[in-house]
Structure 1
Amino acid sequence: MTDLKRLEEFSLELCGAAADVAVPIFRAGCAHEDKGDAAGFDPVTEADRGAEAVIRQLIQARFPDHGVIGEEYGTDRPGAEFVWIVDPVDGTRAFISGLPLWTTLIGLRQAGELVIGAVAAPALGEVFVGGPSGARRVAGGISTPIRARACPELSAAVISTTDPILFDVQQKRGWDALRTATRLARLGCDAYAYAMVAAGRMDAVAETGLKPWDWAAPTALVRSAGGTVTDWAGAEPSGESSLLAVGDPGLAQSMRGLLAS
């Protein structure tokens, strides 16, 4: 436990180092490349690459036996006991549009189990981290415990997805069914929406087509805050996965049923 708490603090250090790279570039005329294919636009910037590079350098210097899985520079020692799963700028579309809800995602897996997840919003000066100390928001040097909220009625739930256009036809039907059954849907928040579920401001996030660096940190964070996270079928997320993060576990089954409708 002591070692995990030390690694939890290290995840905050990684978020800070990534912010030092990315924030000065944000809204400073940052150019981008399109690494997408015919399936769609997928931008990458010097912030993505520079932030992941500094994250990897810090991990290598401090914990050379740890592995890393990252969006920009691939996989290194994935079979290690401790493996960091990193997305340096999640929400690059928001980043290049000047919108502040892009995040840095830092997850840690120990012996195959997610144990720490940090969702940092550098442009807003805050980090949401979940681990052995529970879930908390860190901003301005102040750490505040957070908890997912109770939401006993599906009709009262506030839900989110990044963009329904990312769903295929069947997934879109499921999302529409969930949207109809709930009170309010917010779009375009990327991974920041998971932080809001953990902080008790929203009730669920539904996404598809996520890679491990997209879902690892949010999964650990929401679970640390008392929520539940599965794929849309109720299984543990794995590989490229759908994701349903629910603040009140009592709503998870009914939400999965609607998404599968």
Structure 2
Amino acid sequence: MASDRNGLSIELQDRIAAVAHELADAARVETLKLFRSPGLRPDNKAVSGFDPVTEADRASERAMRGILGEKRPEDAILGEEYGAQPGESGLTWVLDPIDGTRAFMSGAPSWGVLIGVTDARGPVYGIIDQPHLDERFEGGFGRAALIGRGQHQPLATRRGIGLAQATLMSTYPEVGTPSQHAAFRRVAERVQLVRYGLDCYAYALLAAGHVDLVIEAGLQSYDVAAPIAVIEAAGGIVTDWRGGPAHDGGTILAAGSPELHAEALALLGRD
């Protein structure tokens, strides 16, 4: 049976991708029920500060877990709201039912549903889905596409851009610890344009060739597994700030090309 470098048969890849789209469809139903709804009532998960969660987050993850229990019971699951569930296949579904809950509760369509599939080496497939805009960014298993609004367009990161011409995005202006913020500023001061606040949608724009860099800190695995798969499938590169694997979260440097990645990495890693 034919397989690719992931060691998964083409048939299995197709089945996994089909289930991932089924998950994204189910999450769309649950999230759109409450998006821009006057009845939305966020709860605060944080002991101190503000870390919101809504019933849309919980319902979205429950719906996806229900499908996985039926279609892929042998796989492990790691979700933001309901934690880890062991499996025996060597594959893990990494779910963020709403990445960008603050945007969601504010009515801004920059949040998304993240569905990643990982093996022992890291992400092999991912979906970034923006239900309100009907935009689904898919990457992995030989796929790299933006699907939505009746269209199916290939994804490709932007190449041939140096740091001085680059557009950089991050969710918060206050990136990470003071030392991490200082490192971020070294890059931000060298680029052409810096924009903030788009959560996972920034990674989707990078994969689509509209943004050149995304730099963040303090992330979790469920924040990055799907974006890594999508960006790498589109020709980009994602590492931590030392150039190592980023799929466990922490610091993230995503770039449209290896050359731009190297420029940014040299500044981030400088003492």
**Normalised by the shorter chain, which TM-score bucket?**
over 0.9
Question: What is the distance in 2 between the residues matched to 1:179 and 1:86?
Answer: 30
Aligned residue among 23, 37, 40 for 2:47:
37
TM-aligned CA deviation for residue 175 of structure 1: 1.3
Normalised by the length of structure 1, the TM-score is 0.96
> 1:241, CA displacement in angstroms?
1.3
Cα distance 1:242–1:197, how it changes in 2: closer, same or farther (>3 A)?
same
| 1:248 CA displacement | 1.3
The residue type equivalent to 2:113 in the other structure is T
**1:234 maps to 2:247:** no
Question: How far apart are the structure 2 equivalents of 1:216 and 1:190?
Answer: 14
1:142 CA displacement = 2.7
What is residue 123 of structure 2 aligned with on the other side? 114
Number of corresponding residues: 260
Matched, 1:123 2:102: no
C-alpha contact 1:5 1:133 (8 A) present in aligned 2: no
SS of residue matched to 2:95:
strand
* Inter-partner Cα distance in structure 1 for 2:265 and 2:143: 26
**SS of residue matched to 2:132:** helix
Query: CA offset at residue 2 of structure 1?
Result: 2.4
Pick the aligned partner of 1:85 from 84, 94, 99: 94
Moved over 6 A (4+): none
Q: Does 1:60 align with 2:60?
A: no
TM-score normalised according to structure 2 size: 0.92
State the 1:111 CA deviation: 3.9
Partners in 2 of 1:238 and 1:125 — Cα distance?
Answer: 26
Cα distance in 2 for partners of 1:173, 1:202 equals 22
Q: CA offset at residue 152 of structure 1?
A: 3.2
Cα shift at 1:166:
4.0
Query: Alpha-carbon deviation of 1:123?
Result: 1.3
Task: Report the secondary structure of 2:216's partner residue.
Answer: strand
Is residue 5–residue 131 contact of structure 1 (8 Å, CA) maintained in 2?
Answer: no
* Partner deviation per Cα, 1:123-178 (whole Å, 9 max, x = no partner): 11111010113210010343211100113321000010000224211111111111
Number of the residue aligned with 1:191? 200
Give the conservation status (yes or no) of the 8 Å contact 2:45–2:53. Answer: yes
1:179 to 2:188 alignment = yes
- Residues 67 and 78 of structure 1 are in contact (CA less than 8 Å); yes or no, is this contact kept in structure 2? yes
State the shift of 1:48 in Å. 0.3
State percent identity of aligned pairs.
37
Q: Could you say which residue in structure 2 is the equivalent of 1:218? A: 227
Matches within 5 A, 1:14-53: 14-29=23-38, 30-38=40-48, 40-53=49-62
Residue 255 in 1 paired to residue 260 in 2?
no
